[in-house]
Amino acid sequence: MSQGLAGRTYLSIVIPSYNEEQRLGGTLETIQAFIEQKGLHAEILVVDDGSADGTARLAEGFLRGSSGRVIRNGRNRGKGYSVRHGVLQATGRWVLITDADLSTPIEEYDSLAAVIRNRDLDVAIGSRGLPDSRVEIPQHGLREFMGKTFNRIIRVMTGLTYRDTQCGFKLLDRERCLPLFQRMRVERFAFDVEFLFLCQRYGLTVAEVPVVWRNDEASTVSLLADPLNMLTDVARVRWRYRKGLYDPTRDDGRTDRGTP
């Protein structure tokens, strides 16, 4: 396992968090234990999205004395804004994005890293929708139905072929993806679609990887409002692209980036 470029943090783990005081402590302990077990050179970045509870205080206490830190949005902006804020502040060449509830276990990092390493890719996304995916605790029927319906609509609207854009477990080459994150605008749940749409349009290589996934009943996603807002955001993504508002300038040459 490569340790990355000398003098730089090899892996940044970004955790968008909103009112996660009850779950975050266990998550941070699990991630830290994984980092130590694997001998990874890594930092943990908890992005506090204007939480009303003790999320930020808990994270600051846990990360004190480590290379990790808490990044504050100041007010509630949304998951997309939080992820973007974390990626822009990260120091690692590679960034792992994971949900605060660890619905996808941190051990699945190995699966994403292996695919990137073996195929020399820019991005690997966890997926609940592939034949080899293991959904150990599924969502209730209505949520699962709406998720699949949303995915079908997204395919039609964007041309994306992924079976699952919304799984919150993604590993990416920060240097290659940075021009996209600097121009992304979606602040809430459709940011995954915006990111993958831009990856496709600007030639970044992406693999969809089957992962283990366990539904957490504490989800705050609204069954009615959030899908409608997401579809509106996706329509805006297409409009921005047609207007040339993303237009990232990137070097197509590969640099020595190490491997995850």
119-178 confidence digits (pLDDT tens) = 999 999 999 999 999 998 776 667 677 777 888 888 899 999 999 999 999 999 999 999
For residue 194, which amino acid is it?
E
Nearest CA among 52, 48, 50 for reference residue 61: 48
Q: Give the integer Cα–Cα distance in Å for 175 and 177.
A: 6
Please state, in angstroms and rounded to a whole number, the distance separating the CA atoms of residues 251 and 1. Answer: 26
Element of type H or E holding 44: strand 42-48
In-domain check, residue 259: no
Question: Percent of the chain beyond pLDDT 70?
Answer: 87
Split into its structural domains, the chain has a count of: 1
* Two structure tokens written together for 87: 């990626």
Kindly tell me the sign of the dihedral angle through the C-alpha atoms of 181, 149, 109, 42: positive
Whole-number pLDDT of residue 30: 98
Domain around 222:
11-242
202 φ, ψ to 5°?
-110, 20
Residue 197 has pLDDT above 50, yes or no: yes
Note whether residue 249 is domain-resident: no
Q: Determine, yes or no, domain membership for 113.
A: yes
User: What pTM value is reported for the model?
Assistant: 0.90
Q: Is residue 254 part of a domain?
A: no
In a domain, 5, yes or no: no
Residue at 234 is within a domain: yes
pLDDT value for 148: 76
| Total count of residues recorded for the chain | 260
pLDDT of residue 141: 63
Predicted local distance difference test score (pLDDT) of residue 219: 57
Is 123 within 8 Å of 206 (Cβ atoms)? yes
- pLDDT tens per residue, range 49-103: 999 999 999 999 999 999 999 999 999 999 999 999 999 999 999 999 999 999 9
